[in-house]
Structure 1
Amino acid sequence: MQKKVYVVADALISSLGNTPEENFEALSQGKSGVELHNVHADQENYLSLIDMERVAKEHTVLESLEEYTRLEQLFIASIQDVLQTANITLSDKKTLLLLSTTKGNIDLLNQDKQEQFGKERLFIGGLAQKVGDYFECANTVQTISTACISGVAAQNIAARLLQGKTYEHIVVCGGDIIDNFTLSGFTAFNAVAPQPCQPFDRDREGVSLGEAIGTVVLSTTIQSDIQVLEGAMNNDANHISAPSRTGEGVFRAVRNTLKKHGIEACEIDFISAHGTATPYNDEMEAQAFNRLSLEEKPLNSLKGYFGHTLGGAGLVESIITMHSLKNNKLIATKGFQNLGTTLPLNVLTETVEQPVTLALKTASGFGGCNAAILLKQE
C-alpha cells in the first residue's frame, strides 16, 4: 500500500516577497515582479530578480554567510525557514536534502568570484556539499538537474524515495540565479521577449527570465491538508531545445501520472501549466491537454509574475498551486489577453475563487524532458 506523502512546510523567496503568503497575496493582486533590468551586454531586459537587501531584512542569517555565494545564501535562508516550521533537522538520518537547479553557481564563471569562492563550487556537487555542510546533513545531499523540469522531477523523486524505509522527511529546495551567461544563452535562441512575457497569447514572443527559491518539506510521518501524488517523467527525444510539436512528452507524462493513481482526467480541477510564452511550448501544451480532454479545465501560467525561474520553476509554481488549493483561489495568467494556440484552452484571465481539490502541475525542458505531478487537498 502506498504511503501518503504530505507537504508539511514551504518557503518561497522571489522578487515579490519573502514568504509563500506574501507571494500569493501579490499574485492575487495582479502584481508582477518582471521589470526592466540591465545584466547583459549593456542591454535592458525584462527580468524578475531577487533583492538581496530585502531578503536580508527578514533573514538575518545572511549576515553570517559572507563565505557563501549568492545562490547558496538563498538556499540556506529558504531551507532554514522550512526546518523551523516543520521542526525537523537535517542531521537526522531519516531526513534527506534534495536540491533542484539547472545552473547552480553560474556566476562563478566570473574569474574574480571563482577566485573568491573556489572553482569546485562552480560544479553543482560543490554547491550541494557546501550547503549540506552548513546544515550538518547526516545524508549526502542529492541534486537534480534536469533542465526546466528539475523542480517537478525533484518532488517526484522525493515522493518515490519516501515510499521506502530509509527516509521519513525529504527537504526539496530549488532555484537558480540569472547571470550574464544564462541570459546570453536564451538570447542566442531568440527566446527572450522584448516585453514582459505573454503565456498562451497570440502576440507572445518568448520568455522573461526570473529568480526564485522554493522549498518544501515532504513527509510520511507528519500530516497536513496537502498531499503530493508522485507523477511521471519522460523524454520525447525530439530536439536539443524544441519540444515535440504534438506535445507527445507532456501527453505521456500526464497520462501515466493519472494512470498511476487511477484518476480520470475529468477529476482534475485545475492545471498549473509550464507556459513559457514561446511559440512552440505553449502550442505543444495545448496539443497535449486537448489530447487528454483537459482543454476545458481552468489553466494558468505563472511566468508573467516570476519569469521563468528555470530549476526553481517546478517548485515555485507547485507552491503557489498548493496555496491555490488552500485558499480555493485560482490565479490569473499575467500577460494573457487573446488565445494564441490552434486548439482551445481555458486560460484564466481573472483571479477567481472556487473550490479546488485536485491540481495538475506540468513542466517541460530542453532536451525534450517532460514531467507531471498531482497536488491534492484532503
Structure 2
Amino acid sequence: MDQDFSNISVYATSGNCLSPAGSNVSENLVAIDKGNLAIEKHSNSDLSESPFYGAIISETVIEKEFSKLNYEGPFSKLEKMILIVLNGIVTKYSHVFSKRCGIIFSTTKGNIDALDNAEIENYYLHNTASKISKAMDIKTQPIVLSNACVSGIMAVSVAKRLIQTDKYDHIVVVGADLFSKFVFSGFQSFQAVSPKPCKPYSKNRDGITLGEAAAAMFVTKDKSLLTSNSYKITGESSINDANHISGPSRTGEGLFQSVQKAIKEAGVKPKDIDMISSHGTATNYNDEMEAQAFSRADLAQTPLFSLKGFFGHTLGAAGLLETVISLASADENKIPPSFGFDEMGVTLPLNISAQTQSKSIHTVLKTASGFGGSNTAVIFQKFNTNE
C-alpha cells in the first residue's frame, strides 16, 4: 500500500516582490502605507496610441537592482525581474537546491516582448523556466504553471500538494508577467480597461488596470528553515466552474466551492478567517461573482480587500504578489486598504477594507479567479514556533 503523505505540514516563507512601487517587500509596504500607487499615467506609443493608466516598472530600477547580482549572459527584462526577486531565496536556501528541491514558474505570457523581435525560442515558457532554473543551479526540471489569472496562487497550492505527495522537500515558487501591447489591446477589445486607476467593488467601477510585477516565495516542509514570519499552508482548493472562456459564473459556484473546500481542509470555520485578499479586478462581472461566492461561504462580514487598485492586474504574478504583500501585512497585524473603493457597487454586502486597519491576524484567505472559469483559494495561518 502506498504511504499517505497528506499529513505532512507545508509552510511558506521568505516572500519577496518587485513592482513599480518598490524593489522589495518593505518598500512596497511603505508605498501602501503612504498611498503611493504603483499605477501611474503613461504615454508610450509602443503600448498604446493614447495615454493610459498602468503599473510599469522603470527599466532604470530593474537595471540598478540586477547589477547587484552576479549572473552572466543575456537576460530579458522579465528574466531580470525574476532573478531580482529570487535573490534572497538563493542566498538563504541554495544549500538545499538538490534533487529534492523543485521550482514552479507561474506566468500567463512570459517573455511576450520576444515576439516583437521574432525571438520565438525566447518566448517559449519552458525555455524561460529552464534558463532561470539553470541560473539558480536548481537540479530538478522546472514546472511551468500557466492557468490564466489564478496562476500565481495556484502555484503555491500545487507546491503544497507536490510536497505532500513526497515528490519534493522544498519548492521555489516564482511568478512574473509584463505589461504588453498584446495583453493591453486584448483587454481593450473586451472593453474591460478603465480610463482611470481601477476601483474594485465600487459602484462606478469600469474595468481593470493592468500592471507588471514579479514575486517569489519558498515553500517547504522543513521547519528548521523557517523564519519567524512564516505561514503554514493549511488548506487549498482549485475548482473550475466551466462557465465561459472569459466570463465567471454568475453564482460564483467555482470560487464558492474552492473557498469551501479550502476551509474544510484547514479545519477552520468562516468566522476564524481574519482577512481575505481577494481577486477584485473591478470588472462588473468578476466583482459581483465574488460577492455571490463570499456571501454563500458566510464570509460577508470578514474584512476583505483587493490590491488591484494599487498594483493593477499583474496577471500570472498577481496571486503570488498579493499573497506576499498580504502575509507581510498580516505580520504587522494590518489589513491593507482596497485602493479605489468608495461606494459599494455589488448587490450583496461585503466588508470592504476602505482604509488600513489594525487587527490581530492569524488566518488569511487568498483567492483568485481567471479566464476559463478557473478559481483557487488558499488559507495561510501564522507559523507557531512551538509546533
TM-score band w.r.t. shorter chain = over 0.9
* Runs of 5+ consecutive residues of structure 2 not aligned to the other structure: 1-5
2:226 maps to 223
Post-superposition offset of 1:36: 1.1
1:349 equivalent in alignment to 2:345: no
* Runs of 5+ consecutive residues of structure 1 not aligned to the other structure: none
Is the 2:65–2:84 Cα contact (8 Å) retained in structure 1?
Answer: no
Once the two structures are superposed, the pairs formed by residues 155-304 of structure 1 within 5 Å of their partners are 155-221=156-222, 222-224=225-227, 225-304=230-309
> 2-side partners of 1:165 and 1:25: how far apart?
39
Post-superposition offset of 1:261: 2.2
Once the two structures are superposed, the pairs formed by residues 73-152 of structure 1 within 5 Å of their partners are 73-84=80-91, 86-89=92-95, 91-111=97-117, 114=118, 118-152=119-153
> 1-side partners of 2:290 and 2:29: how far apart?
25
2:55 maps to 48
**1:305-335 Cα deviation digits (max 9, x unpaired):** 1000000000000001111221001111110
Is the 1:89–1:95 Cα contact (8 Å) retained in structure 2?
Answer: no
Q: Secondary structure of the residue that 1:259 maps to in structure 2?
A: helix
Q: Secondary structure of the residue that 1:149 maps to in structure 2?
A: helix
> 2-side partners of 1:88 and 1:136: how far apart?
8
Post-superposition offset of 1:121: 1.9
> 1-side partners of 2:362 and 2:100: how far apart?
30
Is the 2:241–2:374 Cα contact (8 Å) retained in structure 1?
Answer: yes
Q: 1:104 is matched by which residue type in structure 2?
A: G
Post-superposition offset of 1:279: 0.4
1:297–1:91: structure 2 CA closer, same or farther, 3 Å change rule? closer
Is the 1:148–1:365 Cα contact (8 Å) retained in structure 2?
Answer: yes
Q: TM-score, normalised by structure 1?
A: 0.95
> 2-side partners of 1:110 and 1:65: how far apart?
24
Q: Secondary structure of the residue that 1:132 maps to in structure 2?
A: helix
2:3 maps to none
Q: 1:353 is matched by which residue type in structure 2?
A: S
1:325 maps to 330
> 2-side partners of 1:147 and 1:238: how far apart?
15
1:70 maps to 77
1:90–1:194: structure 2 CA closer, same or farther, 3 Å change rule? farther
Post-superposition offset of 1:223: 2.9
Q: Secondary structure of the residue that 2:349 maps to in structure 1?
A: coil
Is the 2:24–2:85 Cα contact (8 Å) retained in structure 1?
Answer: no
Q: Secondary structure of the residue that 2:380 maps to in structure 1?
A: strand
Post-superposition offset of 1:76: 1.6
Q: 1:41 is matched by which residue type in structure 2?
A: S
**1:35-61 Cα deviation digits (max 9, x unpaired):** 112243322111001113123323325
Is the 1:175–1:212 Cα contact (8 Å) retained in structure 2?
Answer: yes
> 2-side partners of 1:358 and 1:261: how far apart?
10
Post-superposition offset of 1:66: 5.8
> 2-side partners of 1:50 and 1:363: how far apart?
23
**1:231-278 Cα deviation digits (max 9, x unpaired):** 100111111100001111110100011112222111111100100000
Is the 1:90–1:138 Cα contact (8 Å) retained in structure 2?
Answer: no
> 1-side partners of 2:226 and 2:67: how far apart?
30
> 2-side partners of 1:371 and 1:49: how far apart?
26
Residues paired across the two proteins, number:
372
Q: 2:217 is matched by which residue type in structure 1?
A: V
> 2-side partners of 1:336 and 1:234: how far apart?
28
1:35 equivalent in alignment to 2:40: yes
Is the 1:191–1:207 Cα contact (8 Å) retained in structure 2?
Answer: yes
Is the 1:11–1:19 Cα contact (8 Å) retained in structure 2?
Answer: yes
Q: Secondary structure of the residue that 2:172 maps to in structure 1?
A: strand
> 1-side partners of 2:193 and 2:96: how far apart?
39
**Of 338, 342, 345, the match for 1:340:** 345
Q: 1:341 is matched by which residue type in structure 2?
A: V
Is the 1:289–1:295 Cα contact (8 Å) retained in structure 2?
Answer: yes
Q: Secondary structure of the residue that 1:175 maps to in structure 2?
A: strand
> 1-side partners of 2:375 and 2:111: how far apart?
24
> 1-side partners of 2:11 and 2:318: how far apart?
20
> 2-side partners of 1:90 and 1:55: how far apart?
28
> 2-side partners of 1:135 and 1:358: how far apart?
32
Q: 2:101 is matched by which residue type in structure 1?
A: T
Post-superposition offset of 1:127: 1.1
Q: 1:73 is matched by which residue type in structure 2?
A: K
Q: Secondary structure of the residue that 2:208 maps to in structure 1?
A: coil
> 1-side partners of 2:286 and 2:333: how far apart?
28
Identity %: 39
Q: Secondary structure of the residue that 1:140 maps to in structure 2?
A: coil
Greater mean deviation of Cα atoms: 176-185 or 57-66: 57-66
The two structures, once aligned, show a CA RMSD in angstroms of 1.5
Q: TM-score, normalised by structure 2?
A: 0.93
